Amino acid sequence: MISSNFRSGQAMRDLRRRARAKLAADDGLSTAEYAVGTVAVAGLGGVLIKLLTSDEVRNLIWTVLSNAFQALLG
């Protein structure tokens, strides 16, 4: 059974109003969140540099690229 406030659209208007109020209250990232994000990205960058400069990964990338060019160019 459909309630009368649903038929009138009042429930949807209330839902939209509450959602707008929640979104308006969020002013973005705080300084602490920026700091945590910066540390996480710096850590990930360090891990990527370590991986990409290792001989094993360098050989793997070289093998993949060589095989891809051989498959394309014959």
Q: In the numeric block, which tokens belong to residue 32?
A: 């602490």
CA angle, 38 as apex, 32 and 44 as ends, to 5°? 140
Number of helical (H) and strand (E) elements in the chain, helices listed first: 4, 0
pLDDT in tens, 17-65: 888 877 666 566 678 888 999 999 999 999 999 988 999 999 999 999 9
**Does the structure show a pLDDT above 60 at 1?**
no
- pLDDT at res. 18: 84
User: In this structure, which amino acid lies at residue 21?
Assistant: A
- pLDDT at res. 36: 92
Which of the four pLDDT bands, split at 50, 70 and 90, describes residue 10?
A: confident
pTM over 0.75: no
Per-domain boundaries in the chain? 4-73
Q: Is 2 left (phi over 0), alpha (psi -120 to 50) or beta?
A: beta
Spatial separation of the C-alpha atoms in residues 58 and 66, rounded to whole Å = 12
